[in-house]
Amino acid sequence: MLLKHASSTTPTAKRRYVVQILLSVLALLIVGYGGASWYLWANQRELIFSPSREVQRTPADLHLKYEDVRLPVGRNNPTILHGWWLQSDDAAAPALLYLHGNDLNIGGSVEAAARLRRMGFSVLIVDYRGYGKSGGGFPSEAQVYEDAETAWNYLIQDRRTDPGKTFIYGHSLGGAIAIDLAVRHPEAAGLIVESTFTSMRELAKIAYWIFPTDWLLDQRFDALAKVTMLRVPVLFIHGRADTEIPYTMSERLFMATRGYKWLTLIPGGGHEDSASVGGTLYTRAVLDFTQHNRHDR
């Protein structure tokens, strides 16, 4: 006679075991998610700013004359900003402050500065703290705003440029910095914003969509909120093929701006090459905007 042995594991015990496994996995996921969120919060400045100390190119590589400038900045921890002044041959030419993006340094923006110089502007381009030959440690949002303010004051006070003929130009992250600067200087002739985002929190949602970036990031660069306060004419430029910052963000900035505003979208333009891809479209947009809004005093 064969006897059936009862299983040592009852269905109830099996269910408990499965629940314990699931709870353990869930706990690991929560811990991992929390750790990743903490990392994003703790390292947000390193994820936003990508400075390089090595300046690989200068205007001399493009056969342009320039002058090295060094600007004192900072009250609590004073240091020196480094930049280049590219003087136009025309003494009456409008001036332009160029604020570059988040990576490398002014050496990576030589082509942009040279292009604007050849279009007839006197150009000042300056590295933020921690970039290139500028002093200071790793930058922050508050510091780069102060750096831009220092560069603007240098143009107006030391170079004695007429604010009514002086434009602020910002690319990518520099666009958000330029918007902040222009809000504080309504006497500027105008503002040009290229390939810029609405806010750092919204941009972070694209790459880190699974994390609550709305409350994790304190480096906000909230350009969308600030454009509503602008009292200077604004030209927005963006490449339609930009894969780093969607051109729809420039459209939203344009719609939120209340004053005189222009929007130029470059077909096929990427994040870095809208000027070269756009060619005449880009050049005419910049020249028409600046010629229409400069005010000789």
Check if 7 is active-site: no
DSSP 165: G
- Active-site residue, selected from the candidate residues 88, 122, 140, 172: 172
pLDDT at position 222: 96
Domains assigned to the chain: 44-293 (3.40.50.1820)
Residue appearing with tokens 């809000």: 183
- Active-site residue, selected from the candidate residues 180, 199, 271, 274: 271
pLDDT at position 212: 64
pLDDT at position 12: 80
CA-based nearest residue to 225, from 186, 188, 193, 197:
197
CA separation, residue 180 to residues 69, 97, 184, 205, 253 (Å): 23, 13, 7, 22, 13
The whole-model pTM stands at 0.87
pLDDT at position 52: 94
Residue appearing with tokens 């900035």: 253
Tens-level pLDDT at each residue, the chain (297 residues):
444 554 455 778 777 766 666 655 555 555 555 555 555 655 667 777 889 999 999 999 999 999 999 999 988 889 999 999 999 999 899 999 999 999 999 999 999 999 999 999 999 999 999 999 999 989 999 999 999 999 999 999 999 999 999 999 999 999 999 999 999 999 999 999 999 999 999 988 887 655 566 656 688 899 999 999 999 999 999 999 999 999 999 999 999 999 999 999 999 999 999 999 999 999 999 999 999 987 765
Tell me the C-alpha distance between 260 and 236, whole Å: 11
- Active-site residue, selected from the candidate residues 238, 242, 250, 274: 242
Residue appearing with tokens 């009514």: 164
Check if 271 is active-site: yes
Tell me the C-alpha distance between 71 and 80, whole Å: 5
Phi, psi of 71 (to 5 degrees): -120, 125
pLDDT at position 2: 47
Residue appearing with tokens 């136009």: 88
